[in-house]
Structure 1
Amino acid sequence: MAKIDEITRESWIMSSCPEWGTWLNEEIEEEEVQPGNVAMWWLGCTGLWVKTPGGCNISIDLWCGNGKRSKQNKYMAKGHQMANMCGGRLLQPNLRATPFVIDPFAVKHVDAVLATHYHQDHMDPNYAAAVLRNVEEKVPFIGPKKSIELWRSWGVPEDRFIEVKPGDSVKIKDIEILALESFDRTCLVTTNGEEDIRHTCPDDMDEKAVNYLIKTPGGNIYHSGDSHYSIYFAKHGKDHKIDVAFGSYGENPVGIADKMTSCDILRMGEALNCQVVIPIHYDVWTNFMADTREIEVLYEMKKYRLNYQFHPFIWEVGGKYVYPADKEKRQYHHDRGFSDCFIEEPNTPFRSIL
């Protein structure tokens, strides 16, 4: 243990971040996915790690950054998507609320790095650098045009890119990645600073964002990125078999319509005709945090009258979900331990009086 006179701000940061150290990295590496299943871990925001029985590992929207760090910059800059959305100057106290549950520099193996779109909480230069330096395999970086441009600006080599648009598919080991249409209207009002917001049109969507359908031996996973609710979800549900669907949920501040509400999450699950719908993204920003009980209450109110054929699953950041093994679960709790507490009976003074 360090002496007080040896402790510095830098030593505290190095010893405390990431908060989970390499615990989750080790869990993912050690996980042996059983045939007919697929394992998933929630990494915070819309970050997802997927592992298959064939040992295929992919990450989607893994992000290791933060939001506001000082009250000196509490307002959004001109041209920011939130300011563009509300049409004015916006106070944005978006402090990061969730811990870093994975160490990007401890990632030893990943088969593909995916991004749904290029917003700062869905792509990460630290993770890109870690993959390029530490992973021996030639890992592809998969995403829409704008995501490719951002990776390129960070220095990711040109031969690593796989640019996708709706309809494109990529096969990696025992999974198939299918790019689908995104419904992220916030992305449409995002500028690069120099471009005029009036020149942004819906035709840009396919270049800016995609949704993904990840076809695995254990089921098909639908990742909707930051999509808002769209009636087009119904077409995706008719065209594809979807087992587990992820939707960006949040409590929208006044003047903003950036995240799906509880009603929208349930409507998405019904439209996609999925088996399980899982809300994500509500965890990360303090000004968008939402109560998942609202989803559960509405579901219980409506499930019989509307004959829902799916159910919501309420997760925890850093948690594992295996489909279909965990299909009937409704809520997640981290391992509480103690299940092995009497494998070796303790020699304690009070044992004789128990």
Structure 2
Amino acid sequence: MQSDWGDWLVRDVEEATPDGVAVWYLGCNGFVLKGAEGTTVFVDPYLGLGDPPRTVRMIPVPFDPDDVAEADAVLASHEHTDHVHGPSQAPILENTGATFYAPDDSLAVAREDENWTEGWDVSEDQFSAIKEGETFEVGEFTIHVEDAHDPDATHPVSYVIEHEAGTFFHGGDTKPGDAFDRIGAEYDIDLGVLAFGTVGQIPDKKTREPKRTRWYNDENQIVEAASALQLDRLLPSHWDMWKGLTADPTVLHHHAASFDSPERLEVVEIGDRTDV
């Protein structure tokens, strides 16, 4: 996977010494978290170009996965290509020995559809199946697998990642769901990621005829989900990625203004770092 940016972003992550938890936005719905003790977790990193002319990538490829030398885990939220993608993720597992945590349908993509263990030096014991209600540890992080509501996916999950410095939520491509009131009450979420985009005309996967497509939250849905989750800070993702579905996240200031949550809107661009 040829990066437009060389290796500066992965070197930036490796050289960082955060006091608590640093979070870099990788574009699309990808993030990397690094804790004060050095534990490094990737969530939904995607470095592919889509399926032009149906899905056309609008942002740079921020790094080459072969350049990643430090990772403890890669998490997948659901089975779609821009969340489970061998060329983007298998080299990270190969280079670092990291574990790939994913729900069953996502693991089926890695094992059966893309054959990661045959195409890369990845072993079966690097795959770990997870499901809603489970909790596991990765270094200094405690990761809770929670419900998600993504009607376009077959088995989506969300992640609540706890650290002594704060709590991070990644919803994958979820829209508002019945479980979010419970999740918001159960956890004190400092920074939450929710997918945001417009409705657009995207060529149908089979017929290639333009079709009205809503893959991500609109302005009202994302604030509804953020409010139920009681987010301190909302970080919109995915708005930058696909031609025809891009959006302006700064408009969310107006939509969120009359709600108690989120308390703050955190707008970042690909390659930016924020802290939990």
**TM-score under structure 2 normalisation?**
0.89
- Equivalence for 1:113: 74
- Partner amino acid, structure 1, of 2:72: D
Quote how far apart the aligned CAs of 1:48 are.
0.5
| 1:185 aligned counterpart, secondary structure | coil
**Partner residue in 2 for 1:148:** 107
Q: Which residue of 1 aligns with 2:46?
A: 63
| Alignment CA distance shift 1:307-1:228 (3 Å) | closer
Amino acid at match of 2:186: D
What code does the residue aligned with 1:214 have? I
* Equivalent position amino acid for 1:217 in 2: E
How many angstroms does 1:155 deviate by?
Answer: 2.8
State which of 214, 217, 239 in structure 2 corresponds to 1:282.
239
Contact 2:72 2:98 in 1 (8 A): yes
CA distance in 2, matches of 1:319, 1:158: 33
* Count of aligned pairs between the two proteins: 259
Tell me by how many angstroms 1:150 deviates: 1.4
Identify the residue that residue 352 of structure 1 maps to in structure 2: none
* Equivalent runs, 1:159-238 vs 2, <5 Å: 159-188=125-154, 208-238=155-185
Q: CA deviation at 1:97?
A: 0.3
Q: Which residue of 2 is the match for residue 321 of structure 1?
A: 274
Instruction: For 2:219, give the aligned amino acid.
Output: S
**Match in the other structure for 2:208:** none
Is the radius of gyration larger for structure 1 or structure 2?
Answer: 1
Amino acid at match of 1:264: Q
Tell me if the contact between 1:47 and 1:62 (Cα under 8 Å) persists in the aligned partners: yes
Unaligned regions of 5+ residues in structure 1, if any? 1-13, 75-92, 189-207, 324-354
- How well do the aligned residues superpose, as a CA RMSD in angstroms? 1.7
Following the alignment from structure 1 to structure 2, what is the Cα–Cα distance between the partners of residues 26 and 289?
A: 29
| Larger relative helix fraction | 1
Residue of 264, 273, 281 corresponding to 2:221: 264
Q: TM-score, normalised by structure 1?
A: 0.70
Q: Is the 8 A contact 2:256 2:262 kept in 1?
A: no
Q: Secondary structure at 2:252's aligned position in 1?
A: helix
Deviation at 1:308, TM superposition (A): 4.3
Q: Distance in 2 between matches of 1:133 and 1:234?
A: 39
Give yes or no for contact 1:251–1:261 (8 Å, CA) kept in 2: yes
CA contact 1:253–1:288 (8 Å) conserved in 2: yes
Q: In structure 2, what is the equivalent of residue 128 of structure 1?
A: 89
In the other structure, the counterpart of 1:47 is 30
CA contact (8 A) 2:191 2:235 kept: yes
Q: Which amino acid aligns with 2:246?
A: M
